[in-house]
Amino acid sequence: MMRRLAIRPVVSRRLRAALLLVLLLAGLSLGQSSLTNWFLVVVIIAMLAVFIQSWRAATRLAPALLLTFRPLSAAMLGDNNAEVPIRCTRLSVYRWLIVLHIEFADEGRQVITLLPDSLPEQSSDQWRQLLIWAKLMRRQIAMKQ
């Protein structure tokens, strides 16, 4: 029996709100610092560069994923709904966050960040199943190393 879980992630509003909050807090802390002149300008430019890169990564749409429980594996839907196998290299799992580090056979690496509002249906049952799959996959990755 092969049980599948199809995930079509959407861009998370919570992640974007958290990035804006971090930018606001960084700006407030710079206002309280004793940096002046060109030191302050360099720090502001670096902070904005990091924010822009993070914002682009947070608003990039993740690929559709097909996760199977038996055997424990992952694939993404490519062109024409063809299944492309992927390999999870690292996995961070929390109750409210899942970070997948995946490798494609030919396209390189990608990091996928999933929050409960990343699922289009925002179903708590689907999020629970995703958490179970991620914990099992993390255990499998640890056994291989």
Q: Average pLDDT for residues 60-82, to the nearest whole number?
A: 83
Per residue in 99-110, pLDDT (tens digit) is 989 887 776 888
Check pLDDT > 90 for residue 118: no
More confident residue, 137 or 120: 137
Q: Supply the range of the domain harboring residue 54.
A: 13-59
Question: Are 96 and 27 found together in one domain?
Answer: no
Question: Are 91 and 115 found together in one domain?
Answer: yes
The whole-number pLDDT of residue 1 equals 42
Question: Are 68 and 110 found together in one domain?
Answer: yes
Q: Average pLDDT for residues 62-71, to the nearest whole number?
A: 84
Q: pTM higher than 0.75, yes or no?
A: yes
Question: Are 54 and 68 found together in one domain?
Answer: no
Q: How far apart are CA 29 and CA 120, in angstroms?
A: 36
Residues 113, 12 contacting (CB under 8 angstroms): yes
CB under 8 Å to 70, separation ≥6 — which residues? 1, 2, 3
Check pLDDT > 60 for residue 39: yes
Question: Are 54 and 67 found together in one domain?
Answer: no
The whole-number pLDDT of residue 2 equals 54
CB under 8 Å to 6, separation ≥6 — which residues? 64, 65, 66, 67
